[in-house]
Amino acid sequence: MFTIKNPAFVGLLLALALQAPGQVVSLDSVLSAVDRQNPMLLPYASRAAAQREYAEGKRSWMAPMVGGGPWMAPYPGQIVQDSRDKGFIMFSGEQALPNRARQRAQVAFGRSKADVEAAGRAVTFNQLRAEAKSLYYEWLVAEKRRNVLFENQRILQTMKKLADIRYPYAQGSLGNVYKAEARLYEVENMLLMTAADIEQKRIRLNTLMNQPRQAVFQIDTTLRLPAPEAAFPDTTDLRNARSDVRRMNESIRSMQLGIAAQRTERLPELRLRYDHMLPLDRMMPRMYTLEAMVSIPIVPWASRMYKAEIKGMQQDIRAMQQEREAMLNEAQGMAAGMLAELRNLRPQLDNYQQRIIPALRRNYQTLMIAYEQNKGELPVVIDGWESLNMAQMQYLERLQLYYQTLVSYEREVEK
């Protein structure tokens, strides 16, 4: 009976046995955990709340101005011929009254910045979701590869066992024994590499879900291969689906509200001033001044600034609209190309599963039966097994390419 003497491989098998009872986590559960717990998504809510608080600050009034001092008083050393010329002590107060229409426009503009931040969260989540899907699918392919390698290990153990039995009876060469043994150790190395790859995927998924890095869980290996969509996406679908387009729309709307806020700069503002005068001569009456002042922002030398701001914002909006259309055009082309590739890969995968691999498996089984009945040679059996193994690995490579293309496509259409 063949025994494994490699300590590292034995440790790997023990580790796999200990991890087997781990909880099975579906892809939807992983994506939901990323949405709820990933630290990269948390700042967006705080930044949006900050923008709303800044917007509420636009409702404030200017601070009142107060002052006091002598008014119409003679300089020291001057000859005062009449006591009425001694002057006054004046106390002043001034308050600017904000324009309510201007405040409402500023508040709406500030709140729109919070909507832009909220839309930015969806863009980041789309990237994290694509990364999580990619890791999950790569893990799934790695599990399939490991199953193939375990099957290869069993096949090679059988080959080596038969070669060991036949060699003492001069029914096989010592080179055949060593060749089977070398192939067996190659499979063990690939098993080690696959186990390490799976562990890396587990750690990365734990990081995305913001849970302990060494938390043990298993993926759903029964996940069915999704079929390509029947129709190519159009710009209308992408306009409604893509988060970066929605963020662009929110930025455009925010700029439009900024233009509306700038237009309120032409509205006048009212300022009230009150002066109270106490005479230094007791015979003089106490006096006051109450005046209202109105700004005139429509004069040319004052209106030049906000008119330039409005024109600049209009150009920014035009640029963002052009960028949005270019983004949609590029996304539509990329999505259509990826969907065409998916439609090309899917029949290849079906062909491997339904025709190529079953035919090569039957070829190997036929050669193995002949070898067991002393009607064949071990190198021929190994060649048959290598053809089967190569086809299985090519299938897994195309399967991984299919999943990678699927993730890229779903990232473009945001599904």
pLDDT value for 21: 52
Per-residue DSSP letter, 415: -
Give me the residues paired with residue 276 across strands: 91, 288
Q: What digits encode the pLDDT tens for the residues 327-355? A: 898 888 898 899 999 999 999 999 999 99
Confidence of residue 175 (pLDDT cuts 50, 70, 90): low
| pLDDT at position 76 over 90 | no
Cβ count within 10 A of residue 7: 8
Cβ–Cβ under 8 Å, residues 107 and 388: no
Distance CA 336, CA 340 (A): 6
| pLDDT at position 171 over 70 | no
Confidence of residue 168 (pLDDT cuts 50, 70, 90): low
Q: Which two tokens stand for residue 125?
A: 């989540």
Distance CA 313, CA 39 (A): 34
SS3 87: coil
Distance CA 83, CA 282 (A): 9
Taking the CA atoms of 383, 388, 392 and 397 in sequence, report the sign of the dihedral they define: positive
Distance CA 35, CA 192 (A): 33
pLDDT value for 132: 95
Distance CA 335, CA 339 (A): 6
Measured between alpha carbons, how far is residue 151 from residues 154, 187, 289, 340 in Å?
5, 10, 101, 34
Per-residue pLDDT averaged across 302-313, rounded?
89
Distance CA 319, CA 31 (A): 35
Ramachandran sector of residue 170 (left: φ over 0; alpha: ψ -120 to 50; beta: rest): left
SS3 65: strand
Confidence of residue 15 (pLDDT cuts 50, 70, 90): very low
Cβ–Cβ under 8 Å, residues 287 and 274: no
Cβ–Cβ under 8 Å, residues 174 and 167: yes
Which of 115, 116, 108 lies closest to 56, judged by CA? Answer: 108
pLDDT value for 13: 44
| pLDDT at position 401 over 50 | yes
Distance CA 265, CA 304 (A): 11
DSSP 92-114: EEEEEE--HHHHHHHHHHHHHHH
Place of tokens 């995305």: 208
Per-residue pLDDT averaged across 268-285, rounded?
89
How many DSSP H helices and E strands does the chain contain? 10, 6
Q: Give the H or E element holding residue 309.
A: helix 300-351
Q: What digits encode the pLDDT tens for the residues 228-255? A: 877 787 778 888 888 889 999 999 999 9
Which of 111, 128, 124 lies closest to 250, judged by CA? Answer: 111
Distance CA 46, CA 52 (A): 10
Confidence of residue 156 (pLDDT cuts 50, 70, 90): confident
SS3 292: strand
Per the model's pLDDT, the better-predicted residue between 110 and 171 turns out to be 110
Place of tokens 């020291």: 76
Per-residue DSSP letter, 40: G
Cβ–Cβ under 8 Å, residues 342 and 402: yes
Q: Which residues contact 413 (CB under 8 A, 6 or more apart)?
A: 233, 237, 238, 241, 242, 331, 335
Per the model's pLDDT, the better-predicted residue between 282 and 145 turns out to be 145
| pLDDT at position 9 over 80 | no
Proportion of the chain above pLDDT 70, given as a percent? 92
Count of residues in the chain: 415
Which of 136, 127, 137, 133 lies closest to 40, judged by CA? Answer: 127
Confidence of residue 11 (pLDDT cuts 50, 70, 90): very low
Beta pairing class for 270-279 and 88-97: antiparallel
Q: Does domain 7-73+83-413 have CATH number 3.40.50.1820?
A: no
Residue 47 CB-half CA count within 13 A: 14
